[in-house]
Amino acid sequence: MTATAQDHALLELRGIVYKYGAISALRDVDLSVRKGEAVCVIGPNGAGKTTLARVAGGLYRPAKGEVLIGGEPLPRSPHDVVVRGIGSVLEGRHLFVEQTVTTNLELGCYRSGLDKATVEQRLEKIMTLFPVLRERAHQRTSTMSGGEQQMVAIGRALMAEPQILILDEPSMGLAPKITGEVFDALASLREGGLSILLIEQNAPLAFELADRGYLMRQGAVVVEGSIDELTHDDVVRSAYLGA
């Protein structure tokens, strides 16, 4: 990664607090993703990782703190969040399962006013990234495997050509072979300059993709650093790396 990529913070979360009623899901969380890097967030169930992903993607508004994209406050409208360059792939995928693969992908840019040729160019990029989607282009997503549906969800987010892609547990429920294919595609996207914020319980898998990482527990960041630093951290090693 270049010095420019290291110095430029694309996405920043500053002092984020989020509550479900009286319960604090996020407690004074600071996090950043620089331009051109991949950052992972690991932690146990209930640590606040999914809430973090939704705050970072503009779906939840924090009780305190701010989210910045390119140094500017994140817009309040979900449409404007996408326009500003954030793509989110939520846990559970949230596809239109009775629609075809192609329709689901096209919905990723339906508000952008693109002409047909540009949409087709973007579809071609997605189907090159995930060749199985070309074979399944006219198939209803409800008839596809979980791994194939995950590829559709990622492809839909990519159709808007985001600056940063936020993924919440993309490996959950996938067979190892499909997980490998999905993460190979993410690595290719990262190498192409896309910034990635990856929420992932599988720490070894996340560490293969990411440049830096954060460990969360009970709504707070307890460890952060480069992947090399996390790999040698005693807490991370004992809880997530089997060492």
* 127/167 same-domain check: no
- State the burial class of residue 65 (Cβ atoms within 10 Å of its Cβ: 0-12, 13-18, 19+): middle
Supply the CATH number for residue 211's domain: 3.40.50.300
Please say which residue of 131, 161, 191 terminates a domain: 161
CB-based contact 240:47 (threshold 8 Å): no
Neighbours of 66 (CB within 10 A): 12
Per-residue pLDDT tens, the chain, 243 aa: give them. 433 344 578 999 999 999 999 899 999 999 999 999 999 999 998 999 999 999 999 999 999 999 999 999 999 888 889 889 999 998 877 888 889 999 999 998 866 677 889 999 999 999 999 999 999 999 999 999 989 999 999 999 999 999 999 999 999 888 899 999 999 999 999 999 999 999 998 999 999 999 999 999 999 999 999 999 999 999 899 888 865
CB-based contact 167:57 (threshold 8 Å): no
Neighbours of 36 (CB within 10 A): 21
Alpha carbon 78 to chain centroid, angstroms = 16
Residue 225 domain-assigned (yes or no): yes
Please say which residue of 130, 161, 192 terminates a domain: 161
Residue 166 domain-assigned (yes or no): yes
* 120/23 same-domain check: no
Indicate the pairing of strand 38-42 with strand 212-217.
parallel
Provide the domain count of the chain: 2
Can you point out the beta strands (E) in 36-169?
Answer: 38-42, 64-69, 72-73, 86-89, 164-168
Question: Range of 22's domain?
Answer: 3-85+162-240
Torsion angle, alpha carbons of 176, 155, 92, 109, to 10: 180
* 72/114 same-domain check: no
pTM: 0.92
Please say which residue of 140, 161, 182 terminates a domain: 161
* 55/102 same-domain check: no
